[in-house]
């Protein structure tokens, strides 16, 4: 499959899983790292569902849920980074996540734009269009 957001979400989840494994071996409290793993997994699940969605509405709903999960991931990563208890390349993880967020936002906006244009076209075709 050659879908940039799908591929990046798989890469991100793999990196978070590796991070979580290393973090759990450190003996530190895992509450935040486990929540990060859950949020990253949820984000990837919604991105995957959007790729195989039934219709445009389903596609947009899953992308919006994925975006919410990405915001949670940013928050959790920044929290872990600011705690400064576990040395890790947080910048790489946050950068990868920001790339995913950018594609999600662009996809949602493009879909909204296309939906509005389609709606206008349908009104015009049915003779119900008035400006």
CATH number at residue 9: 1.20.1440.60
Q: Is residue 13 part of a domain?
A: yes
Residue 52 has φ and ψ, to the nearest 5°, of: -105, 20
Matching residue, tokens 């928050």: 75
Nearest Cα to 40, choosing from 4, 78, 64, 76? 76
With H, G, I as helix, E, B as strand and everything else as coil, classify residue 73. helix
Residues 40-72 pLDDT 10s = 999 999 999 998 877 888 888 999 999 999 999
User: Which pLDDT score, from 0 to 100, does residue 116 have?
Assistant: 56
Check the CA dihedral 93-45-75-84 and report its sign. negative
Q: For the whole model, what pTM was predicted?
A: 0.83
Q: Is residue 127 part of a domain?
A: no
Mean pLDDT of 101-129: 69
Q: Is residue 94 part of a domain?
A: yes
Q: Which domain holds residue 41?
A: 4-116
Indicate the number of domains in the chain.
Answer: 1
Our CA dihedral for 47, 48, 51, 53, rounded to 10 degrees, sits at -100
CB 21 within 8 A of CB 30: no
User: Which pLDDT score, from 0 to 100, does residue 53 have?
Assistant: 74
User: Which pLDDT score, from 0 to 100, does residue 49 have?
Assistant: 92
Q: Is residue 129 part of a domain?
A: no
Average pLDDT, the chain: 88
| Count of beta carbons in the 10 Å neighbourhood of residue 50 | 24
Q: Is residue 122 part of a domain?
A: no
Q: Is residue 131 part of a domain?
A: no
Q: Is residue 130 part of a domain?
A: no
Nearest Cα to 66, choosing from 86, 45, 35? 45
Q: Is residue 88 part of a domain?
A: yes
Distance CA 39, CA 16 (A): 10
User: Which pLDDT score, from 0 to 100, does residue 115 have?
Assistant: 61
């Amino acid at each position: 499959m050659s879908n940039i957001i799908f591929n990046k979400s798989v890469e991100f989840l793999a990196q978070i899983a590796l991070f979580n494994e290393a973090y759990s071996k450190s003996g530190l409290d895992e509450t935040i790292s486990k929540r990060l793993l859950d949020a990253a997994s949820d984000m990837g699940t919604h991105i995957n569902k959007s790729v195989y969605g039934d219709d445009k509405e389903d596609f947009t709903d899953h992308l919006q849920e994925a975006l919410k999960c990405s915001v949670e991931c940013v928050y959790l990563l920044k929290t872990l980074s600011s705690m400064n208890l576990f040395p890790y390349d947080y910048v790489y993880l946050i950068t990868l996540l920001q790339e995913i967020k950018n594609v999600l936002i662009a996809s949602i906006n493009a879909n909204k734009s296309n939906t509005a244009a389609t709606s206008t076209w349908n009104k015009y075709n049915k003779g119900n269009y008035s400006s």
